[in-house]
Amino acid sequence: MARDEAALAELYDRYRVILFGLLMRILSNREEAEDVLQEVFLQVWRRAADFDANRGRPFTWLVTMTRSRGIDRLRTLAARERVAIAGARDESEAVSDAASDAFRSEQRGLVTSALAQLPDEQKRPLMLAYFDGLTQSEIAARLGAPLGTVKTRMRTGMMKLRELLAGKDASFGF
């Protein structure tokens, strides 16, 4: 195996369960999620030179790229009305023991704990934005809340999330 290829393979092995979990949460469709995951790593291969460690960690870079591709695919699929997004979540294949070991469960615990501490009125707008790709106006319409209220709740929720993760941030370097 070529050396560059080995580096990419290792990157994949390290992050696949996180990124695939993210894509499954966005797309709720295993086939589409695997297709996007494949696209993401091909994009990583083509655009690795664009990665700038001064602007963020590899984790942030990868997750941002994956989420963006996932939301793009979600919109394409929704536009074509090809998937029923509200369909049952495909959780038939739980993460393997080995993958669990590889996955930094500690960091996940910190995030889920932080999210659990957010009031639902702040957490829902964040979830709708991050996993469903909705804009603030769309979230306001979805929740039946005034736009200004949604903006305030999102900002407050993000600030609280950052505060709860502050000091633990070093462990998110992966």
Partner 1 sequence: MGHDDYKEMIPAHALSALDASDEGALNEHLATCAECRRDVAEWEATAASLALGAKPMEPSPQVREKILTGIRSEEPSLAGRSLSEKSGSEKSGFNVIPFGPTPRNLWNSLGSLGSIAAVILFAALIVGIVVLWQQNRRLRQENELVQILSSPGARLKELKGTTEAPGASAKMVFDSTGRALLIASGLPRPPQGKEYQLWFIEPKRAPRPGKTFSTDSAGRGQLEERIFEVDQEYSVFAITLEPAGGVKSPTGAIYLRSDL
Minimum CB distance to partner 1 smaller for 4 or for 84? 4
State whether the Cα torsion 78-82-87-88 is positive or negative.
negative
Q: How far is the CB of 146 from partner 1 (least distance, A)?
A: 14
Q: How far is the CB of 84 from partner 1 (least distance, A)?
A: 18
Minimum CB distance to partner 1 smaller for 59 or for 145? 59
Distance CA 166, CA 17 (A): 24
Minimum CB distance to partner 1 smaller for 49 or for 86? 49
Residue length of the chain: 174
Q: How far is the CB of 56 from partner 1 (least distance, A)?
A: 5
Tell me which DSSP letter residue 104 carries: -
Residue 44 burial by Cβ neighbours in a 10 Å radius (0-12, 13-18, 19+)? buried
Minimum CB distance to partner 1 smaller for 92 or for 144? 92
Q: How far is the CB of 142 from partner 1 (least distance, A)?
A: 12
112 Cβ contact list (under 8 Å, min separation 6): none
